[in-house]
Amino acid sequence: MVILKKIDEVRAQVKEWKKQGLTVGLVPTMGYLHEGHQSLIKKSVEQNDRTVVSVFVNPIQFGPNEDLESYPRDLEADAKLCESTGADIIFNPEPEEMYADGFVSFINMTGLPNALCGLTRPIHFKGVCTVVGKLFNIVTPDRAYFGQKDAQQLAIIMRMVKDLNFDIEIVGCPIIREADGLAKSSRNIYLTPEERKAAVVLSKAVKLGQDMIADGERDAAKIVGEMKKLISAEPLATIDYVEMVNMDTMQSIEKAEGHVLCAMAVKFGKARLIDNFIAEL
Ligand code: PAF
């Protein structure tokens, strides 16, 4: 496995692979990799001849008061995980390599970003779409892998690929959880031991919502209301949102039917954590 920092180096290697008729998978990440990312890399290694993992903390997807500076970084550990999981390249560009002086071209989707996380993170998805579009053009993968934990991001990337005709299959992969249910996230590192214990309430809320649906409940407000009640009973938790939307449009729904996403963002001290479940009803 090699770590490449330049766009041209990645392009040259991928061209070589394509000449040999090899397929290429891309796993876009911001590094500080955990078992969630590893599951995406594993899937890519299974489904493609070669796998590229990008490790890039993308400055343009962070708002002015967000955690760009403090976002955890550990390239050495990331390289070990990628190598042992079978990746072939880590693409780890500097911000100037991705955003040269005078950069002014962005992918600015309407609709889907104006919901859930997009409401409190207004520039986030413009930054995500722009960097992912660039990575798609640089790596030209056959398939690209995204976690379902970032469900709104997954829906937005799927829509972008459709709208802009990227010839890439998007593979969504299930949420990977700690033994007690907390969804794996690079941001879990921000939690104090007390907050870490309290954060289990998120996966409990997910379970509660899933159980209510399994028992036949379809009233979105009722389901979300019970989930909020459970989370609010945890003194260290501050709810940003708990919502039920259509997974393809991100529009709020009153009845749980069709392709349903029930998503939440909750703050525990410095950490803003997300979790969700998807149901086909
Ligand atoms: O999910 C992430 O880690 C990031 O949003 C992504 C897709 C790598 C774009 O920077």
Q: Which atom of ligand 1 is nearest to the CA of 128?
A: 9
Residue 176 annotated as part of some ligand binding site? yes
Number of neighbours of residue 25 by Cβ within 10 angstroms: 28
Number of neighbours of residue 276 by Cβ within 10 angstroms: 25
Q: Which residues of the chain are modeled with pLDDT < 50? A: none
**What is the distance in A from the centroid of ligand 1 to the CA of 271?**
17
**CB of 279 closer than 8 Å to CB of 246:** no
Q: What is the pLDDT of residue 263?
A: 98
Tokens 């996380």 found at: 117
Q: Could you tell me the two tokens for 21?
A: 């008729």
Residue 120 dihedral angles phi and psi, to the nearest 5°: -100, -10
Q: What is the pLDDT of residue 17?
A: 98
**Atom 1 of ligand 1 has which residue's CA nearest to it?**
29
**What is the distance in A from the centroid of ligand 1 to the CA of 233?**
31
Q: What is the pLDDT of residue 265?
A: 98
Known catalytic membership, residue 259? no
User: In this predicted model, what pLDDT tens digit does every residue of 99-119 receive, in sequence order?
Assistant: 999 999 999 999 999 999 999
**Atom 3 of ligand 1 has which residue's CA nearest to it?**
29
The Cα angle at residue 231 between residues 226 and 236, in degrees rounded to 5: 165
Q: Residue 272 — left, alpha, or beta (φ > 0 → left; ψ -120 to 50 → alpha)?
A: beta
**What is the distance in A from the centroid of ligand 1 to the CA of 262?**
21
Helix (H, G, I), strand (E, B) or coil at 206: helix
User: In this predicted model, what pLDDT tens digit does every residue of 257-266 receive, in sequence order?
Assistant: 999 999 999 9
Residue 33 annotated as part of some ligand binding site? yes
User: In this predicted model, what pLDDT tens digit does every residue of 126-161 receive, in sequence order?
Assistant: 999 999 999 999 999 999 999 999 999 999 999 999
Q: What is the pLDDT of residue 47?
A: 99
Q: How many CA atoms lie within 13 A of 33 on its CB side?
A: 28
CA–chain centroid gap for 57, Å, is 13
Catalytic residue among 27, 37, 156, 256: 37
Instruction: Give the max Cα distance, the chain.
Output: 58
Q: What is the pLDDT of residue 236?
A: 98
User: Average pLDDT of the chain?
Assistant: 98
Q: What is the pLDDT of residue 260?
A: 98
Q: What is the pLDDT of residue 140?
A: 98
**CB of 88 closer than 8 Å to CB of 52:** yes
Q: What is the pLDDT of residue 190?
A: 97
Residue 19 annotated as part of some ligand binding site? no
Pocket of ligand 1 (CB under 6 A): 28-30, 58, 61, 128, 131-132, 150, 153
Q: What is the pLDDT of residue 107?
A: 98
What would you report as the CA-atom Rg of the chain, rounded to the nearest whole angstrom? 19
190-204 in b/e form (b: 16+ CB < 10 A) is bbeeebbebbebbbb
Residue 231 dihedral angles phi and psi, to the nearest 5°: -70, -40
127-156 in b/e form (b: 16+ CB < 10 A) is bbbbbbbbbbebbbbbbbbbbbbbbbbbbb
- Could you give the domains of the chain? 2-173 (3.40.50.620), 186-275 (3.30.1300.10)
**What is the distance in A from the centroid of ligand 1 to the CA of 222?**
32
Name 241's bridge partners.
265
What single-letter amino acid sits at 181? G
Nearest to 152 by CA among 193, 183, 184, 111: 111
